[in-house]
Structure formats: C-alpha cells, structure tokens
Amino acid sequence: MNGKVGWSRDQMAARAASELGDGFYVNLGIGIPTLVANHVPPGVQVTLQSENGMLGIGPFPWAGEEDADLINAGKQTVSELPDTSYFSSSDSFAMIRGGHIDLAVLGALEVAENGDLANWTVPGKMVKGMGGAMDLVAGVKRIIVLMEHSSRDGSAKFVPHCTLPLTGLNVVDMIVTDLCVFSRPDRTSVFRLTELAPGVRFEDVAGRTTARFEAGELAVETL
C-alpha cells in the first residue's frame, strides 16, 4: 500500500461503536477499545462497566479535573455520571460471569481463524496480570476485537492458529482493524471480509492476513 490509507485509531473505534445497541451494557478493554466511549452513536444509550467495580463510566476528564480515585480497569482516570454506581470487584465479575454484559470490545495480540483469542501476555515479557479478559470472553454475549491489522514487525495478527498463550477458545465474533472488518454470524461459521477501509484493496488485506477467510464480492470489486 502506498500513502495513507485505512482507518485511524479513532475511526476504528467509531466503526466498532456503530455495533453498539441502545440499552447495552458494555465493557471496553484497554488500549484502542477505550476510544469507543468517544464515538457512541447519537441517540444510543449505553452503560459502560469496568471490572474494578464501576457501572456508568463517564468521559475522560479534562486536564486538571482528574480524580485519582476514579479509574477504569486500565488505570486511566475517568469521570462519573449522575447514575454511576460503585461496588466490589466480586460483584463486578458476577455481572460478567452471569452473562449480564451485552458486548465487550477488546484488543488483541492474535486472533485465530476459528475465533481463538490471545491478548494478555507475550512469553518472556513482564505483565501485571491477565486482568479480566478471560472472564469477559467466557461470560459476555458478544466479543468485538479492535486491533491493528499487523504487528510492529509487519507480521500478521489474524492467523491460522494463535502462537501466544490463549485468552479464550472460539470467542471472537467480529474483528475491526485499520484495514477492514471481518465478521461471522455465529461461532461455527468462517470469518467473512465484510468491509474495507477507505483506500484499502482486497489484495492489501490478503497480503497481510494468513488466516483463512471468505471475501465474496469484495474480492471481485477491488481487484
């Protein structure tokens, strides 16, 4: 690919935010997924939930207005809303494990073509812990992955099989990258390329993806 094509991180977040439904309870992972909160579609009411015990997360505070006691699961300072509620971490995970969260948007290191997800550690690198990702992928109704299409070294992140420690087996429903969108109607189907970012051609995606996927008309239209 030559020049600037594809989506920026904010545009990726906006595309993922278009999947939010009115009345949804939503959990946002750290990194790019936190930007989804800035792009909730007009007229859509969602309630953001955090594993550390906060329901009803407000926007990021302005500089100088931060409250160090108000943080999300990624240790970022957030604001509260008039209807925000607080509770123990055990109650928070009861919501997640009990299937009361409609959607989670998470980052990823790798996603396999069968929906396996690896997003919590790289062997040999120090991490703070696995966080709530394993509970989220096991208990949340729908999982959207928001990630750059390729790693910093150019290697594929949507792959035939995950090589990193797994977070969950067959748990991903949609993948939004800076190049495109892959989705599947259920967790027994093959991922399908459903949308290309501006300026991106099918051959750009195919050349940077090692996973098997269906393309249909998108492959024909852009070649």
Q: Angle 92-97-98 (CA atoms, 0-180°, nearest 5)?
A: 95
Which residue from 112, 109, 33 is spatially nearest to 76, judged by alpha carbons? Answer: 33
CA pair distance 175, 173, nearest whole angstrom:
7
CB 116 within 8 A of CB 161: yes
In the chain, at which residue ranges do the beta strands (DSSP E only) sit? 25-28, 47-50, 54-57, 80-86, 103-106, 110-112, 117-118, 142-146, 158-159, 174-176, 180-183, 192-196
Q: Does the annotation count 214 as an active-site position?
A: no
CA pair distance 170, 113, nearest whole angstrom:
9
User: Any alpha helices (H) in the chain, and if so which ranges?
Assistant: 9-17, 89-97, 133-139, 202-207, 217-222
| Pairing mode of beta strands 142-146, 180-183 | unpaired
Catalytic residue among 51, 66, 113, 214: 51
Catalytic positions, written as ranges: 51
